Amino acid sequence: MAGKVALLLWAQTLGLAGAQTTQLLVQPPWTPAVLWDRVTLTCQGSGTAGATTWYKDGRRWWQDGRDSFLVTESGTYTCDRPGSGRSPPVLVSNDLLVLQVPARALLEGDTVTLRCRGRPDKLLTRVKFHKDGKDLWGHLSRTELSLSRLQVHSSGRYQCKGLVGSEMKVSALVTVTVHEVPPSAVSVSVQAPGGQVALGDSLVLSCTVAMGTGPLSFSWHREGSGATLGTGPRLELRHVGDNDSGHYQCRVSDGESVAQSVPLNVTVLVPVANATITPGPPALQVRPGDPVTLRCSVQVGSAPVTFTWLHNGQELARGPLLEIGDVDVGHSGTYHCMATNQLGQDGHRVFRALSPELALEVTPQGTTGHLWITVALNVGRTLLYLLLLLAVIGGCHWWHRRALRKPQERPPQEPSAPPEEGAALDPHIVCTDRAGGDHADLLGPHGQHWDPSDVYENML
């Protein structure tokens, strides 16, 4: 079951009372609303739900218990709820040119944007803004006017004019009222520690006035969001998301003065997800004696986050960093990082995220030594063959010189008989004289020449 956070905002301003008035909530939140925006009106107040009476242009319009509806006709609307009375009026316009102001109470220090808008099927150009009949903006291409750090003297009657299609039009006057905020008018107390709520929980905000007289209207706001989140002394957000974090304020008005609470920071805590290891998976190869440092992190997740390292499924260490100063073969295996955080008002809901597997391989030194031995043997064989070849060439050269000195002693050579069938055939070396030089030829059993590279390959 989702937990709840109750935030009590206490106003201590004279002239304010605890009675609630009926509020007419307009969406989109602009005054006046325009018919082409598909405006929705919602009546909020005390009394029996579904007992709303609607009025249009000062006349009773319908009573079917509906609290909300989509506007299809322009006009001025109010609603009535038993127990809280009739709401302030809301104008829905269908004019060719309209100046719009945010539908909320404006306080000193606020920033507000005024919008000059024409119908969607008409091109709007040459826009100018006026306050109390005086020009405010010299540019003729902008349709919005931003007023920052409002002061009480920023109050007044505003309007805009511009070329709508081929017609020059002037909008209706809009009254802007900036309220003065008394110092230390509102204090805040929080029942939940730190205003923290877990993702998916429900958040309940309550605005309570301690002193004063007269009917009151309430509105809720979050810093950075121009829209009104709700009206009434209580605001409930079901299944909060991570975008619901921020500073919340309650504003209370009796029609003459306005009080607002000190901004209250609400933090939505997010479960951990997407744990990763750096250097990344799937494998990491190191040599014995090398240092290894692994880092674990999460893509999302609210602090505090606990990190646990697992080696072959067994807990090894804790913390975001795993440092191994002198690895050996025993450190080989699979590594995981598990990130954990605890959320919720009770703090007993635990969320975990497990990283992908990292395979750490420690390569033994013997593998590298064997490779060097193999290379050394091959080089030795090559050198031995070259020495043998040089010795043969030298021997042939000596034999040739000796033959030239004693030709008369050389006995006549008889032709050699062919080898008998089945006899062993061995290659032998024959020294010949080609073009005045000595050469050593390797001859096969049938007199064919063997290339030295063939001998080298056979040796390997």
Q: Could you give the count of Cα atoms lying within 13 Å of 293 in the half-sphere of its Cβ? A: 3
**What average pLDDT score do residues 272-284 get?**
86
pLDDT in tens, 427-451: 444 444 444 444 444 444 445 554 5
Q: Could you give the count of Cα atoms lying within 13 Å of 190 in the half-sphere of its Cβ? A: 17
Query: Domain check: are 326 and 350 in the same one?
Result: yes
For residue 291, tell me if it sits in a domain.
yes
- The alpha carbon of 269 is separated from its chain's Cα centroid by a whole number of angstroms, namely 16
Q: Write the DSSP string, 181-225.
A: --TT-EEEEESSGGGEEETT-EEEEEEEE-S--SEEEEEEEETT-
For residue 433, tell me if it sits in a domain.
yes
CA angle 353-358-361, nearest 5°?
160
Last residue of a domain, one of 127, 152, 179: 179
Query: Domain check: are 172 and 68 in the same one?
Result: yes
Query: Domain check: are 149 and 67 in the same one?
Result: yes
What is the structure's pLDDT at 323? Answer: 92
pLDDT in tens, 90-124: 999 999 999 999 988 888 888 889 999 999 888 99
Query: Domain check: are 49 and 174 in the same one?
Result: yes
**What average pLDDT score do residues 404-429 get?**
51
Q: What share of the chain is helix, strand, coil (3-state, %, to 5)?
A: 15, 45, 40
Q: Is the whole-model pTM more than 0.75?
A: no
For residue 267, tell me if it sits in a domain.
no
**What average pLDDT score do residues 349-364 get?**
88
Last residue of a domain, one of 158, 179, 200: 179
Query: Domain check: are 315 and 444 in the same one?
Result: no
Which of 245-249, 320-324, 365-369, 454-458 is modeled with the greatest confidence?
A: 320-324
Query: How far is 341 from 273, CA to CA, in rounded Å?
Result: 10
Query: Domain check: are 76 and 118 in the same one?
Result: yes
Average pLDDT over the chain, rounded to whole? Answer: 76
For residue 59, tell me if it sits in a domain.
yes
Query: Domain check: are 403 and 346 in the same one?
Result: no
Query: Domain check: are 174 and 63 in the same one?
Result: yes
For a pLDDT cut of 70, what percent of the chain falls above it? 69
**What average pLDDT score do residues 140-159 get?**
86
Examine the pLDDT at 10 and tell me if it is beyond 50: no
Query: Domain check: are 348 and 387 in the same one?
Result: no
Q: What is the CATH number of the domain that holds 316?
A: 2.60.40.10
pLDDT in tens, 179-218: 876 544 444 444 555 567 788 887 888 777 655 445 677 8
Where does the pLDDT of residue 176 fall: very low under 50, low under 70, confident under 90, or very high at 90 and above? very high
What is the structure's pLDDT at 193? Answer: 52
Query: How far is 433 from 401, CA to CA, in rounded Å?
Result: 11
Query: Domain check: are 397 and 312 in the same one?
Result: no
Query: Domain check: are 344 and 386 in the same one?
Result: no
Strand, coil or helix: 88: coil
- What's the domain range around 315? 273-363
> For 47-61, 72-86, 446-460, which range has the lowest pLDDT when averaged over its residues?
446-460
For residue 228, tell me if it sits in a domain.
no
More confident: 339 or 411: 339
Q: How many domains does the chain have?
A: 3
Query: Domain check: are 46 and 129 in the same one?
Result: yes
Q: Write the DSSP string, 396-452.
A: HHHHHHHHHH-STTSPPPPPPPPPPTT-----EEEEEEETTEEEEEEE-TTS-EE-H
Pairing of strands 23-27, 264-269: unpaired
